Structure 1
Amino acid sequence: MSLETERECPKCGEERTFWRVAATTLHLGRKTKWRCEDCGYGITRVNGISTADAAEGA
């Protein structure tokens, strides 16, 4: 798994680099935390489901 990824940052409003700051395996699957390098916005993914995806649908 890569240490960085490019994606849309909801706080910056543009495509930004996110860095992986933590990863662990839970009973639900793999949990990974990412942070925007520019503003510090955090995204958590558990087994491929992202908190950012949930916020975008709200």
Structure 2
Amino acid sequence: MSLELDHDCPGCGETKTFYRAASTLMHLGEKVKWHCPDCDYGFVRIDGNVDTGAAVDTSA
């Protein structure tokens, strides 16, 4: 897996290059944490199937 990922950043309001912050192997697959270098936004992907950044509500 790569160390960089282009992804929409709700904190910045545009597509940014996220950096791989950490990863670990778990029973569901590889869990990878991604972080935007320009703001505090981050999300997790597990084996490419579970993505906490897919449906983000920024209205709060």
In 1, distance between residues paired with 2:55 and 2:8? 14
Aligned to 2:9: 9
In 2, distance between residues paired with 1:17 and 1:47? 19
Equivalent pairs, count: 56
Instruction: Flag as ranges the 4+ runs of structure 1 deviating above 3 A.
Output: none
In 2, distance between residues paired with 1:37 and 1:8? 13
Amino acid at match of 2:26: L
Residues 1:54 and 2:58 are matched in the alignment: no
List runs of 5+ in structure 2 lacking aligned partners.
none
In 1, distance between residues paired with 2:22 and 2:7? 17
Aligned to 1:20: 20
List runs of 5+ in structure 1 lacking aligned partners.
none
**TM-score (ref. length: structure 1):** 0.85
**TM-score (ref. length: structure 2):** 0.83
